[in-house]
A and B are shown apart, each in its own frame.
Chain A
């Protein structure tokens, strides 16, 4: 897809690798086995563990022995415990405790081999070939935290084979070879014993303090409200224990040397983890990726969400059908969606349906930009239903009359969107969008499942591994934790992420102020304090540029030209000072400066890869532009330079406007046909560019299309002839052998064109029946429907791909026909017989039902209290619960894992159930509360007056009436647990307890896995999807009614 630019990038990146290699000479790397160093020194201990030790030694050229005998003394007991033998050439080692269980050796070329374990009648032994240079031995089964003394003797031994049994004969005389002393480490269990007790004590303390606080607050409130505290207690308690406590625990962990692999007692090492982080070159890379990722996604989400909601709300008929199409992809589990996109785009190593359809050669493993953009696309497509629902909620809150008035007053659509719709939905949508930003910022699934961080970046290497172009902050943190088990460092990463999230949370609190459900007139805006913010920003930028220039930081300033960085820094500093004196006068010139900065920053993209060098200043500049745009305009000041500059700008603007006006008088009335023509031409251009071998005929047709567009712009009659472009394109396609995907797009556009063309032509007095009927069909909102239909179809293509694979007999990824040529149920059969999929269905069901039941019990009670009682701190609690929602996922994963680990709940159902049960409490609370608010409170009051206890009122009156909302909240949690990947992946360790998402993931593996089980994965996906889709379609009305609470539950 990148064409020639790819080559340039390749060359540049090779250059960059060389540079980075030069730069990173200081960092000497240790190979895992440490064999290289072992050859220089005679022998050394490579690693000491809690129950094992790894030892290396080198064998000289000439030796006169046939094996080594290893003896270990337990120094504390002064007891020789073990000895085993490594036999060179055809002889052997012996070991009655079976303690030496891994022997590696290198040959003269330095290649590493593992020796096979053999068993003789008296001993087990290992055989290494004569050419062996070094030997590495791993001795297992030691006692933890015990001093040992290891001695190795060179011996002569031989194997005697007798009646199919081998006996090892060892000669008496042996010579001393090496000796080493070491002490084994504490076991992980022992090392973390303190943390276990600490966790238990902390939890008990939290329980106690929490109860005391609750009782005190309840005592302070009026007696009738005390029952409300009883109701909110369980939910709040669960949240505090499972969300707040982990959050705080995570912060504490980030200051410790907590490690799950080394046997060390964790200690406070204060800022050591943070220092370690700042030295890691991967951090700015991950940060850059995350920033770019969030920006692209939020921008696309808002644009697409608004457009779709607008079309559904105002443009089309039969809204219910569109709702159904919109929500249907929502029920398909996210992980299946993402994995199906991977199947569709990447397939097996680039051989995929996508590439076949469009003739491209997309490969997510080695095209960084393509991979990042496609990952963004998948993330956006995944969240379309949700974001569209949000916008639909906003739109439906606008009174219908306003829209009618706008139409009657002949306000154009553009103006009414800008001046009526957007200002009205802004207060409702904005908090939701900030929530989306937070979610996108911490998103994990796509980056992990879709690309697994690939393609790898050569300059993203450190001793911890390599970072990829799609590694977000979250996945990066996850690898740190999951693969390296460096809890302290990973916790430091997630603490940094939490702080960044906190920033957005504060913005959210400021914006929402208790989230209004409709437009509220705000107080007249105070003068923005731009007089302070802008200079502060500018000074910060200047200082940042200078510092990054000095230390060679690649992510602030222009890495391609350090001199320019310093010049800009001085300019920023100058303007910062100037702005304090004359803010209004300097703002125009400041805009120019910022634009210049943007241009310099963007130039960098052509020289370096985004991940190698990036100017974070772009984001600050964007904020500055936004602030400057809001500065009230004043007459430009006295200085002649400024005056002349201002005049120049004004003059050129006038000339431009005049030119545009002149052009405008010449062209005809533009309509939808012109737009479609332009779209067709651009599709032609794109397809010609992508298919590098572009057929010359297609280029001629593209030229023709441009010609037709230009001519039809200037003459109405020529517009009528534009219809002849369609057959020309099709002739071209017929000869050009373009891939089928492009043909499909062209066909769609042609049909739309013809329909619109006919619409325009038939928009005259209707003569006969046929024309009348045809025009009545044509008057339907075709264009809007086509847009909606194509967007929902795009979501279904990968799903169709999955279905095809599931029923096709071979393990192929690319469909060759619409239906598999000879469909089988072979894959399904394998699933049940070989993979025991029912077990995993059972696991998922247990966890999801458990979690949803637990969650709904807590939520319903709390929602009732929040809906009906006016107790103290109600508003603060509601806002607090919402803030907690933002700190889930990867942010609390590590501490949560550790808490579960300390409580011994790893690899148990209860642990996973607890993990998922609190996730949807905030959302469920909002939903059910909103729905309960719409139930007249006189109902339960009159039931109460009849002498019923509050619980009976809940059971008999409130629950039956709030049924739909409770069902939706239940389903919400059920789906979260059913589809949940990350927590289950971390918490469940034995394959028999895997839930469906993990099972499916293991079938397919990550993107670089060699042998994915396509057929079985697809079949399992189908099995998971179908019941959900059926359930959704059957229950849709009930669920939609319950989901109304989303819109109703406006005020927090």
Chain B
């Protein structure tokens, strides 16, 4: 089976003065799903469109199996792309939509003939429609289909062509939540079946985590981190990654180093655990940020003493949000907001005071350039 290794080299894209993508270099491994994740406007779709050949880069190269294809237009790259708004041709029925890519395949230099005969096309269309469970919709027009059905047909239309690579541009963001899980699973199955290189763009991290072998996180046109989902979650390389990945926003507290002592900016007190302080001092940075996830915080228990490995913060409860079995508390630590997620049965109310414990292992330290140290 033909597999494609895609590489981008120093790819830069400018729209007028706005830089959408800056010096991105990356290898998309063959036969794997690579997720491009990032907030809106970070250049995810730009990368995808550059790979597809729908955009021409301001500078840089796109390589397919070490072959430079930057100058090749989209219709010569044999790339399949699934769009967010499932663009089915509204003037063709489902079956005509499926047939169209096969009818489009032509060969010959001056006189161009169809590659597939009519019987072959019929056979392939039937195969695909059974695979996608859309036999009963064959003669409907796209406007008569539901969102999930439309996206299935759109994917089917790309499948039928046998392309080198699949590009997904936020394919599930217009589909309702319940169906999205189903489609996710379906795409994973599809990948197992085809075993082709796939690049999947999304802004939804849960989708990224669920699908990806490898995640590329983009921040404002630059690649922030590349790695597996676990790497991104447990070992973020920068404050941005730490902030972006995870169900709840990470808590941050600024610290400052004065006279070889590590203090928090809010209260100028030395409450950090030794391990953390040592680590900071060893890196010889003057100020920075501490980060810890809301899920890792524990409430202080009188029965369990704190060791050097932890430190304690005395907070007030500012707001309580109850989501089914979870409670999300917004705490106020001397003017700084801290989120705390817990599953205790204990009820909190506003203005309660609460002590929380953070373990040193759960703390990420970032320097003033927001890089992890």
Contact = CB atoms under 8 A, between A and B. Distances in A.
Contacts of B55: 224
Contacts of B85: 936, 938
A275 interface: no
B41 interface: no
B161 A939 contact: no
Contacts, number: 72
A961 B88 CA distance: 12
B171 to A, nearest CB: 11
Contact of A222 (B56, B77, B81, B157): B56
Contacts of B89: 939, 943, 957, 961
Nearest to B83: A938
A224 B73 contact: yes
B56 A223 contact: yes
Contact of B81 (A936, A945, A952): A945
A963 to B, nearest CB: 9
A224 B85 CA distance: 24
Interface in B35-75: 52-56, 71, 73-75
Interface string A217-240: 000001111000000000000000
Given A224-B55, A941-B74, A941-B81, A947 B87 contact: no
Contacts of B90: 939, 961
Given A938-B85, A939-B89, A944 B56 contact: no
A949 B80 CA distance: 16
A223 B71 contact: yes
A948 B115 CA distance: 13
Contacts of B106: 947
A946 B77 CA distance: 9
Nearest to B161: A946
A11 interface: no
A936 B174 CA distance: 15
A961 B91 CA distance: 7
B91 A225 contact: no
B24 interface: no
Contact of A947 (B54, B56, B104): B104
A967 to B, nearest CB: 15
B44 to A, nearest CB: 16
Nearest to B76: A947
B87 A945 contact: no
A948 B104 contact: yes
B145 to A, nearest CB: 16
Interface residues of A, number: 23
B75 A944 contact: yes
A944 B77 CA distance: 10
A944 B81 CA distance: 10
A950 B104 CA distance: 12
B91 A943 contact: no
A952 B83 contact: no
Contacts of A945: 52-54, 74-75, 77, 79-81
Interface string B80-104: 1101110101110000000011001
Given A224-B55, A224-B56, A946 B101 contact: yes
Interface in B146-190: 154, 157-158, 161
A931 to B, nearest CB: 14
A941 B52 CA distance: 10
Interface centre among A224, A943, A946, A949, by most chain B C-beta atoms within 10 angstroms, is A946
A722 to B, nearest CB: 58
A960 interface: yes
B353 interface: no
Given A946-B101, A947-B105, A952-B104, A941 B91 contact: no
A107 B91 CA distance: 83
B87 A938 contact: yes
Interface in A839-894: 870
Nearest to B74: A944
Interface centre among B76, B85, B90, by most chain A C-beta atoms within 10 angstroms, is B90
A225 B53 CA distance: 12
Contacts of B296: none
Contacts of A643: none
A223 B154 CA distance: 29
A919 B6 CA distance: 50
A943 B105 CA distance: 11
Interface string B89-132: 11100000000110011100000000000000000000000000
A267 interface: no
B78 interface: yes
A956 B54 contact: no
Contacts of B79: 945
B54 A941 contact: yes
B15 to A, nearest CB: 8
Contact of B100 (A225, A941, A943): A943
Interface string A189-228: 0000000000000000000000000000000001111000
A942 interface: yes
B315 to A, nearest CB: 43
Given A223-B56, A956-B100, A961-B90, A947 B75 contact: yes
Contacts of A952: 104
Contacts of A870: 15
Interface centre among A870, A936, A945, by most chain B C-beta atoms within 10 angstroms, is A945
Interface string A917-956: 0000000000000000000101101111111111010001
Contacts of A939: 87, 89-90
A936 B88 CA distance: 10
A939 B90 CA distance: 9
B115 to A, nearest CB: 10
Contacts of B74: 941, 944-945
A694 B87 CA distance: 73
B75 A948 contact: yes
A218 to B, nearest CB: 13
Contacts of A222: 56
Contacts of A949: 75
A946 B104 contact: yes
Contacts of B104: 943, 946-948, 952
A944 B83 CA distance: 13
A174 B101 CA distance: 98
A947 B106 CA distance: 8
Interface string B242-275: 0000000000000000000000000000000000
A957 B52 CA distance: 19
B83 A942 contact: yes
Contacts of A941: 52, 54, 74, 81, 83, 87
A960 B141 CA distance: 15
Nearest to A948: B104
B168 to A, nearest CB: 12
B114 to A, nearest CB: 12
A951 B91 CA distance: 18
Contacts of B73: 223-224, 944
B158 to A, nearest CB: 8
A225 B54 contact: no
A960 B96 CA distance: 14
B80 A960 contact: no
Contacts of B157: 942
A938 B89 CA distance: 10
Given A952-B104, A957-B89, A961-B91, A947 B81 contact: no
Nearest to B54: A941
Given A944-B75, A946-B100, A225 B87 contact: no
Nearest to B80: A945
Given A223-B71, A941-B81, A944-B74, 6 more contacts: A944-B54, A945-B74, A945-B75, A946-B161, A957-B89, A960-B91
Interface of A: 222-225, 870, 936, 938-939, 941-950, 952, 956-957, 960-961
25 contacts: A223-B73, A224-B56, A224-B73, A870-B15, A936-B87, A938-B84, A938-B87, A939-B89, A941-B52, A941-B74, A941-B87, A942-B83, A942-B158, A943-B100, A944-B54, A945-B52, A946-B75, A946-B100, A947-B78, A947-B161, A956-B100, A957-B89, A961-B89, A961-B90, A961-B91
